[in-house]
């Protein structure tokens, strides 16, 4: 595999960029692997990469029903952050942020990780108190957080509507290390790193069932491209986790919901980083191409349709208009929907399934993108060692039965409110 460097760039420039190698191998399935990962999104590919790199497991296949990165890895709003409050989440998302910080050197691939800052606006005294509490929790966990007053916010983003009649901006919480990363490049970078270490990435290969031994243990997968035997099977198909789990008769504490996202036409640079509205649900950043990438709430009803309805479009745009009226001048280029595993407490699951040989990586709600590196790291650790990684010990499947919920938003068992 060609190592990307200024020298390889110069060399390929001289040959008119016609001799670059393929970034990763488009493999055909073999009969058997030590580990099969179901789902070729960011999480599945990161898992395969870390299995090969950190645990020396080289006989790995990633099977993907469509093309890699064609699901939620290609539908998110590219935000990375680790501003979590609760024990169980804080260490995990901070580990993810640390992996983001070293990702490009590790992968030798430009994932366009940009720590341009995440600014959460507050609009009331109660909300400022909540941010102070969250920020203090973050700092006690070694995460960066700054509580800003109105002037502090004005210095970062002078264009906001500070004196909006209904939701005046009183301040905000700022995580300077947060930012954005290029979603496609993350997928391709992990695919390249995994493929280079012998992982087979098999596209257009949908899992249709599981092979079970006489003792019930999972021994492989049935796919649209034939049967593949496997020592262990990891499932990383967030959005469709319930459907795959149903193939082994499991019901999960998950509902599938649609989350819409939007991008405007390309504009000259106007937004310094990620900005979120505190009185509604609206978050926005500007891509390097210039489009304003934004989103808000999930639609709120069960859906596998990958498209949403207009009331949420209106709600999201109202949120945008409330804090930055200038957004009303931008024309919308595209909108789309992705299917999210909404869990009963708003936190993910990285655990052994109650079926031998099967491992679950699920329930990412609508926050899976930022978790990609740590999710892969911890899932690889779990599959390779049969023990949870130290930052993911709380993401157990049985926490719903034992009452050890990680409910960051405090909403209870109501998936569409997380």
Partner 1 sequence: MRLPCPFCGDRDASEFVYRGDAAPVRPATSEGFYDYVYLRENPAGPMREHWYHAQGCRNWLVVTRDTRTHEVFGAVLARGAAQ
Where does this chain bind partner 1 (CB under 8 A)? 240, 242-243, 246, 251-256, 300-305, 309, 311, 344, 400-401, 413-416
Which helix (DSSP H) or strand (DSSP E) does residue 362 occupy?
A: strand 358-362
Nearer to partner 1, 41 or 373 (CB): 41
Minimum CB separation of residue 38 from partner 1 in Å reads: 16
Nearer to partner 1, 256 or 391 (CB): 256
For 140, the 3-state DSSP assignment is helix
Nearer to partner 1, 195 or 256 (CB): 256
Edge-first strand listing for the sheet containing 282-286: 146-149, 171-175, 118-122, 274-277, 282-286, 291-302, 254-266, 332-343
Nearer to partner 1, 240 or 276 (CB): 240
| Separation CA 145–CA 131 (nearest Å) | 10
Residue 14: CB atoms within 10 A of its CB come to 9
Minimum CB separation of residue 299 from partner 1 in Å reads: 9
Minimum CB separation of residue 107 from partner 1 in Å reads: 34
Phi-psi region of 48 (alpha: psi -120 to 50; beta: other; left: phi over 0): alpha
Minimum CB separation of residue 29 from partner 1 in Å reads: 25
Nearer to partner 1, 255 or 356 (CB): 255
Residue 344: CB atoms within 10 A of its CB come to 20
- E strand residue ranges, 43-89: 60-63, 79-80
* Contacts with 77 (C-beta within 8 Å, 6 or more apart), sequence order: 261, 283, 285, 293, 294, 295, 369
Minimum CB separation of residue 128 from partner 1 in Å reads: 30
Contact 379, 236 (CB under 8 A): yes
Contact 233, 218 (CB under 8 A): yes
Nearer to partner 1, 28 or 246 (CB): 246
> Which letter does DSSP use for residue 26 in this model?
B
Nearer to partner 1, 213 or 311 (CB): 311
Minimum CB separation of residue 135 from partner 1 in Å reads: 32
């Amino acid at each position: 595999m060609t190592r990307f460097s200024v020298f390889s760039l110069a060399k390929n420039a001289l040959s008119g960029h016609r001799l670059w190698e393929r970034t990763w191998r488009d493999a055909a399935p073999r009969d058997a692997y030590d580990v099969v990962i179901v789902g070729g999104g960011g999480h599945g590919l990161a898992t395969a990469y870390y299995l090969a790199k950190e645990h020396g497991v080289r006989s790995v296949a990633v099977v993907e029903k469509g093309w890699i990165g064609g699901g939620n890895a290609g539908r998110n709003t590219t935000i990375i952050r680790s501003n979590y409050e609760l024990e169980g989440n804080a260490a995990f998302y901070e580990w993810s942020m640390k992996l983001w910080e070293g990702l490009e050197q590790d992968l030798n691939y430009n994932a366009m990780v940009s720590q341009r800052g995440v600014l959460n606006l507050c609009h009331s005294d109660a909300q400022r108190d909540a941010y102070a509490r969250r920020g203090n929790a973050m700092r006690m966990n070694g995460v960066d957080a700054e509580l800003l007053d109105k002037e502090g916010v004005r210095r970062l983003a002078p264009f906001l509507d500070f004196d909006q009649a209904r939701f005046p901006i009183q301040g905000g919480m700022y995580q300077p290390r947060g930012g954005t990363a290029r979603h496609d490049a993350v997928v391709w970078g992990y695919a390249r790193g995994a493929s280079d270490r012998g992982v087979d990435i098999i596209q257009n290969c949908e899992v249709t069932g599981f092979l079970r031994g006489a003792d019930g243990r999972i021994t492989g997968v049935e796919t649209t491209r034939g049967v593949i035997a496997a020592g262990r099977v990891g499932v990383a198909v967030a959005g469709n986790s319930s459907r795959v789990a149903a193939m082994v008769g499991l019901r999960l504490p998950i509902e599938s919901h649609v989350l819409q996202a939007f991008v405007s036409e390309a504009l000259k640079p106007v937004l310094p980083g990620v900005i979120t509205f505190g009185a509604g649900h609206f978050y926005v950043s500007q891509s390097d191409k210039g489009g304003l990438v934004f989103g808000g709430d999930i639609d709120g009803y069960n859906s596998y349709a990958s498209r949403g309805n207009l009331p949420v479009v209106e709600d999201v745009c109202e949120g945008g208009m409330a804090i930055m009226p200038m957004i009303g001048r931008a024309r919308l280029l595209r909108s789309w929907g992705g299917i999210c595993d909404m869990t009963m407490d708003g936190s993910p699951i990285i655990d052994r399934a109650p079926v031998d040989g099967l491992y679950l990586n699920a329930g990412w709600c609508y926050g899976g993108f930022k978790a990609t590196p740590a999710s892969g790291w911890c899932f690889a650790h779990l599959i390779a060692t049969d023990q949870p990684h130290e930052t993911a010990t709380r993401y157990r499947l049985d926490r719903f039965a034992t009452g050890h919920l990680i409910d960051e938003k405090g909403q209870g068992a109501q998936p569409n409110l997380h």
